[in-house]
Amino acid sequence: MKSYRVVFLDKKTDTLPKSKKYIVILSNSFYWFYKDKLDISLSEAKKVAPSMFDGVVPEGDYSYFVQKVKDEYYFFAYKDSDIVKKLQELNIKPSEVKKVYPLHLLDITTPLDLGDKVALRDGEEIIIAPKELIGFEVKKTDLNSLKLPKTSLPLKTYSTFISEEHIYTLSILLFIAIVLYAVEAFVHKKDLGYLNQKEAQIFKSYNLPPTSIQIRSILNSLEKINKEQLKLREDIDYILRIPLYPKEYFVSLDYGKKIVFEIVLNSKSRAAKVRDYLKKRLVLEDLVMNKNILRVECRR
């Protein structure tokens, strides 16, 4: 029998089943997601992760996680404190959480029952929708039976929950390390060979290329990414400014190769007005009205 319980956590979750240990699957309400094919290494992708969300996410202190899935990089921006605060509201201690996975890392091939919500794969995108809006019955899913990825989302906030005894021990070790470093720096202060060695270590630690040509290549790649991000930010801002009537609201918004979103509208006739608004700036590839939900795909 497994010693942990897999649970789904959304910002609106008000209770979770009791367990000694948890594996948490995060709703996309806790993170921002972006994916793209980039001809760079994983270490370089981690360095440019913040720029992927520059101007897109609201201001705040974010952590970033990058995972390569097949030939694409998955980028995640999230706030550790939001996740921990929600778990604490549900009386779950950090020590009780084994791993955390963003929903987009799961290999969802069939509709996934998440209680009052359902996770669906629509082409390359994952959509979370209220169960009452799904036009078919969803088979109940035992989350503990899911095949989970090897790599989970790191939560730096958890590392701060340590005992006073450990803090005391770490303080002593840190003090000793500072003293040893100070002595070593004093001894080698005038040693040019030592400085050259440190320079080489820095280049190695940060995977810096040895030539200016390689550095320029990386800069050109980052400039291209920055331009794409600026356009994406402007497109999303334009979408979020769609003039909605009372009781109309966004159900989902995601982006990768395309920008895909869904809006609940008061009537089918409203779809034409939304379409006319979007065509002023965006290239629409698909626009479908299903009952009162308008689904839109836009080219990036």
Alpha helices in 32-136 (DSSP H): 42-52, 80-89
Tokens of 187: 């001894």
Among 2-6, 16-20, 44-48, where is mean pLDDT lowest? 2-6
Q: Give the per-residue pLDDT at 3.
A: 79
Cα angle: 148, vertex 150, 154; to 5 degrees: 100
Place of tokens 């806790």: 30
Question: Mean pLDDT: which of 76-80, 90-94, 117-121 is highest?
Answer: 76-80
Q: Give the per-residue pLDDT at 49.
A: 92
Phi, psi for residue 155 in degrees, rounded to 5: -115, 100
Q: Give the per-residue pLDDT at 162.
A: 41
Q: Domain 5-160, CATH 3.30.420 — does that match?
A: yes
Rounded to the nearest 10 degrees, the angle between the axes of helix 212-240 and helix 42-52 is 40
Q: Give the per-residue pLDDT at 136.
A: 74
Q: What is the dihedral of CA 15, 17, 22, 25, to 10 degrees?
A: -60
- Domain ranges for the chain, please list them: 5-160, 164-205, 238-299
5 and 52 in contact (C-beta within 8 Å)?
no
Query: Is the pLDDT reported for residue 133 higher than 50?
Result: yes
Instruction: Please give the Cα distance from 21 to 164 (Å, whole number).
Output: 23
Element (H, E) at 121: strand 117-122
Q: Domain 238-299, CATH 3.30.1360 — does that match?
A: yes
Tens of pLDDT, residues 221-235: 777 887 888 888 889
Between 190 and 4, name the one with better pLDDT. Answer: 4
The mean pLDDT value for 276-295 works out to: 92
Q: Which residues does residue 64 pair with via DSSP β-bridges, in sequence order?
A: 77
125 and 261 in contact (C-beta within 8 Å)?
no
CA torsion sign, 34 to 71 to 223 to 43?
positive
Shortest CA distance to 256 belongs to which of 236, 282, 240? 236
Write down the pTM of the prediction.
0.51
Please give the sequence-ordered ranges of beta strands (E in DSSP) within the chain, or none if there are none: 5-9, 22-26, 31-36, 63-69, 72-78, 97-102, 112-113, 117-122, 125-130, 249-255, 258-264, 283-290, 293-299
Q: Give the per-residue pLDDT at 199.
A: 62
Between 2 and 279, name the one with better pLDDT. Answer: 279
Contacts of 129 (CB under 8 A, 6+ apart): 117, 118, 120, 251, 252, 262
Helix, strand or coil, per DSSP, at residue 70? coil
The mean pLDDT value for 172-177 works out to: 66
Determine what percent of the chain is predicted with pLDDT higher than 90.
32
Phi, psi for residue 150 in degrees, rounded to 5: -75, -35
Instruction: Please give the Cα distance from 227 to 234 (Å, whole number).
Output: 11
Phi, psi for residue 87 in degrees, rounded to 5: -65, -40
The mean pLDDT value for 48-54 works out to: 90
Between 75 and 139, name the one with better pLDDT. Answer: 75
Query: Is the pLDDT reported for residue 13 higher than 80?
Result: yes
Instruction: Please give the Cα distance from 112 to 138 (Å, whole number).
Output: 7
